[in-house]
Structure 1
């Protein structure tokens, strides 16, 4: 099977693996305790996958699309919108760690993980890249960080600098029991039941086991260990069979479909701007944390009590 040309931009790294590795990347991001607790304690209903999973998927995809295919003007508007949402994300006296949604050091880690989302989906299918390609990709990935209000000078300038930063962060990672439960519900798709009730439970039952496997398989072993997830030889064989199918999907044109998917999000973003629609939608907060039932629809609350 022919290997795609060596990527020089993040947009060249799109592969079918990215459709099954998003939760693995979320685990990586939220393994930094201030980031994980900030999401676990969130009261931002309008941006929660537990309440509005389709909207959350759209806004995340839009951010990635603008970082890879958008203009600096697009990114500036998105940066301001994200900063507004993140101002509502901050620790309280009861929080286990101190955090702020706009803290540059936390956003730098999130951006580094997003870079790994693109890099890993390509190398998982097609093998490692040489130093020159990695240097180019690191430089091209800077908008992932600057879009989160990280200063350009704080983003690693080449691959060795990125590796040094990444390795320095690993000892700081930890996953609390509360955050681990959140990850489990994302990995097996059971969180969809909170948003959609019965249909969400059905989707989780049908697709959850395979998605859990792919989440574990797409995680580096360090993060699997933090999650206390096992990985057997049988798991590896099943994972490799899915990767074989994903390579064929890429060969049959799915990479072009994925690129179009990102393009559509750029066009949707620009249309929203032109029509005066908030690019991230209306900000909605709840008094209670989402994990404690905040922002849940009435009919789902009745269903849960029943």
Structure 2
């Protein structure tokens, strides 16, 4: 059967995307002001270390609104994101200066999110033509405008996007603190911090496989920044996983995933009609989340037990 080229970002969604979220986060946070901003964050309510299900929902909704929402939806999300980002600013002792609402940082994050959609399709189904990529670049503009990037700052076509991406790569660097955060995300260790014993059991059961898929989805340049190895044997194993994921798409998983995106949009609209905060109640701690800010009960018990 001939491949149908996607003309929208929703058309690129595939089973592989369920395994590549952390790989994309690593790309976003490899830009030091972004990585340090997240690592030093005091916004408890938006942290996967405290509320992983909520964080997955709000991130999923942002992506869903960009690819399947309307202008009104995106405007409401844009305002909510800007409010949260006002609390993510560098302090006196921060290793680099940052402001989460800075346009250059948000443009990089949006570019990485665009790669999340494109890369999952390309890895599973092969390269796209320049015309197809140009179409997708234009379709991806809401990923940037949704975080207050002006439309004219988003690349006009794939050639412009490639130039932007290549010019940004020399700025990438990963500190030891941020690398530890990445490891915790890749092996699902953060679930233990959020949920205590149940989270640790989930990490032990699924962490090794997710860590492997994270390494496989990560472009070699970023893999090297992480200090992760990748052998021919790893590549063969990854190819077998891709084959399984193609079969999952053929058996209907791709349809299910696109439906999930539309359900995210519906949930977002229902929340707005009910007068609920679209990102939930904002909670900001005096402590960084990584230093224990907003620590939840199961994790606190685990910490006390370990100190005996």
Provide TM-score, normalisation by structure 1: 0.99
- Give 1:219's aligned residue: 218
> Does the CA contact (< 8 Å) of 2:194 and 2:298 recur in 1?
no
Instruction: Quote the offset at 1:238 in angstroms.
Output: 1.3
**1:131 aligned onto 2:106:** no
- Give 1:59's aligned residue: 58
**1:84 aligned onto 2:104:** no
Instruction: Quote the offset at 1:302 in angstroms.
Output: 2.5
> Does the CA contact (< 8 Å) of 2:197 and 2:298 recur in 1?
no
Instruction: Quote the offset at 1:303 in angstroms.
Output: 1.6
**1:40 aligned onto 2:33:** no
Instruction: Quote the offset at 1:297 in angstroms.
Output: 1.4
Q: Which moved more, 1:34-43 or 1:227-236?
A: 227-236
> Does the CA contact (< 8 Å) of 1:175 and 1:226 recur in 2?
yes
- Give 1:144's aligned residue: 143
- Name the CA distance, whole Å, in 1 between partners of 2:304 and 2:241: 39
**1:23 aligned onto 2:38:** no
- Name the CA distance, whole Å, in 2 between partners of 1:16 and 1:61: 15
- Give 1:269's aligned residue: 268
- Name the CA distance, whole Å, in 2 between partners of 1:180 and 1:266: 33
3-state SS of 2:238 partner: helix
Any unmatched runs of 5+ in structure 1? none
Provide TM-score, normalisation by structure 2: 0.98
Instruction: Quote the offset at 1:301 in angstroms.
Output: 1.2
> Does the CA contact (< 8 Å) of 1:3 and 1:126 recur in 2?
no
> Does the CA contact (< 8 Å) of 2:44 and 2:50 recur in 1?
yes
3-state SS of 1:43 partner: coil
Instruction: Quote the offset at 1:3 in angstroms.
Output: 5.4
RMSD: 0.7
3-state SS of 1:183 partner: helix
Poorly superposed stretches of 4+, deviation over 2 Å = none
- Give 1:158's aligned residue: 157
**1:191 aligned onto 2:190:** yes
3-state SS of 1:207 partner: helix
Any unmatched runs of 5+ in structure 2? none
Instruction: Quote the offset at 1:300 in angstroms.
Output: 2.0
Change (3 A) 1:4 1:271: farther
> Does the CA contact (< 8 Å) of 1:40 and 1:178 recur in 2?
yes
> Does the CA contact (< 8 Å) of 1:91 and 1:99 recur in 2?
yes
Instruction: Quote the offset at 1:299 in angstroms.
Output: 3.9
Change (3 A) 1:266 1:4: farther
3-state SS of 2:37 partner: helix
3-state SS of 1:7 partner: coil
**1:301 aligned onto 2:265:** no
